[in-house]
Amino acid sequence: MSSFDQDMLDELNLLLKFPADSLLQGLKIHHDASQTMVNAASRLYSKGLITQPDGGYLTDLGIDLVDHARHIQSALCPRKSSH
């Protein structure tokens, strides 16, 4: 596999929504969330990255993955020029 598919991007985007400042805070996917978000949460749960099919908390593996995702996001974000 040479690139992220749309499901992976949806999962990464959902993982990045978990609070960065506390592992004691989780995420709840509500019934009015987009189907894309609901499906991403279900896949993340199946992969063992979150504790509930509708969010919950990050597992240890999920915490590691979010850390990597935030590093990637930070590296790829446009930087403001100092010129």
Residue length, the chain?
83
Identify the CA nearest to 9 among candidates 34, 49, 40. Answer: 40
How many Å from the N-terminal Cα to the C-terminal Cα in the chain?
39
Domain map (residue ranges) of the chain: 6-76
Looking at residue 68, its pLDDT comes to 95
- Sequential pLDDT tens for the chain (83 residues): 689 999 999 999 999 999 888 777 889 998 889 999 999 999 999 999 999 999 999 999 999 999 999 999 999 988 776 65
Are 69 and 16 in contact by the 8 Å Cβ rule? The answer is: yes
